[in-house]
Amino acid sequence: MTSPFSTSTASAGTGPILTVRGELDVATAPQLRTRIGELTLEAGQLLVVDLEGVTFCDSSGISTLIAARNVAEAAEAKVALVAVPTRLTRTLALTGLADFFPTYPTAGDAISAHG
């Protein structure tokens, strides 16, 4: 059974928190890319991407996370991944992307580290 894909956004003093749920794959990655493109980021802010609810992530999903980082860098902001599922943590390590993304257990931890 597949998990329905959804995103939601909350505001923190440091910037947006984007929560992703469900399967992040070739079918849903374009939706996430669109959502990332709609975010307003300013220099010095932090984009937190909460992945706790992600049940599956393929290469399209990873590509979209890289796109999120690129959007943040273009705005002179930072990106952090939080609550990364174990399987995705392993995939990021195997692909050499573990050092590309700072990761934290919670959004609060990412925000504290940024501040």
Which domains can be identified in the chain, with CATH numbers? 6-114 (3.30.750.24)
Closest by alpha carbon to 68, among 95, 45, 93? 45
What was the pLDDT predicted at 17? 97
What does pTM read for this prediction?
0.94
Whether the pLDDT of residue 104 is over 70: the answer is yes
Given pLDDT bands bounded at 50, 70 and 90, which one contains residue 115?
confident
Whether the pLDDT of residue 1 is over 60: the answer is no
Closest by alpha carbon to 35, among 73, 75, 65? 65
